[in-house]
Chains A and B, each alone.
Chain A
């Protein structure tokens, strides 16, 4: 297989995987959370150590912190 073909295949694979990731991400976000799981909270220490920026639980933790500061 020539280098050009290998390059094209690698680009196609990366684009396909990125597309799968973004589609699954969008669907994950759109899927409603089950009613009995809406108040799930993650340990704040675990949240600090995780590097996923846009996680729904991290956002939830931020909102709780903001509300706490407002109440103070």
Chain B
């Protein structure tokens, strides 16, 4: 039992730092660059992505193993996941819009951005491609969501400093942000091999 818990925690750390969704797999670059100019916005986006990734995994795992595989239509997983994620985001938006104005004020604005966030699709797709168990899929989802949150917040601090620094005109904005992101990716590359599961 303790061993399982340890593996669960290691899988989360692996998804969060070692195999980071943005820096090593280059998923979710659009919101990463688009919403990282202010730390407050980055935090809201990161939390929204974490929630959606977790819910998408909870819904997509049973669909894959109890519906697509028994019906022999596992090849349809990608299109099913896209529709499930799009519907999930709509339903989540609807629920928080109706019942929690405070939460809607904090997260609602980021929900449409998540519909097309490939990080969410990437996680559920990799869960089924790697044939992960439910617990491992959950750990992968939590790790990936937390990884997205940490990186987008760290990057927002860097961008705040970049915006106030003297950058050549040709590199202002997105180009210098991409340079910073590549340096960050190289720094995180140092963590590869730290965890072996």
User: Which positions in A face B, CB cutoff 8 Å?
Assistant: 1, 5-6, 9-10, 13-14, 17-18, 20-21, 24-25, 27-28, 31, 33-37, 40, 42-43, 45-52, 55-58
Known A13-B80, A17-B84; judge A43-B35 contact (CB<8 A): yes
Q: Looking at chain B, what size class is its interface with the partner chain?
A: 20 to 34
Which of B8-16, B48-56, B102-110, B137-145 binds A? B102-110
Which residues from chain A contact B34 at a C-beta distance below 8 Å?
43, 45-50
Pick the interface stretch among B68-76, B123-131, B185-193.
Answer: B68-76
The distance in angstroms between the C-alpha atoms of A36 and B104, with both chains bound, is 10
Chain A's interface: helix, strand, loop or mixed, by majority?
helix
Interchain CB contact under 8 A, A42 and B73: no
A17-B84, A40-B105, A43-B35 given; A1·B113 CB < 8 A = no
Which label, helix, strand, loop or mixed, suits the secondary structure of the B interface?
helix
Closest to A58 in B: B112
The reply to whether B112 and A57 contact each other, CB–CB distance below 8 Å, is: yes
Smallest CB-CB separation from A16: which chain B residue? B83
A21-B83, A31-B97 given; A52·B115 CB < 8 A: yes
Complex interface residues of chain B between 72 and 112 (CB less than 8 A to chain A): 72-73, 76, 79-80, 83-84, 86-87, 90-91, 93-94, 97-98, 101, 104-105, 108-109, 112
CA distance A25 to B115 in the complex (A): 12
A68, chain B: closest CB distance, angstroms? 20
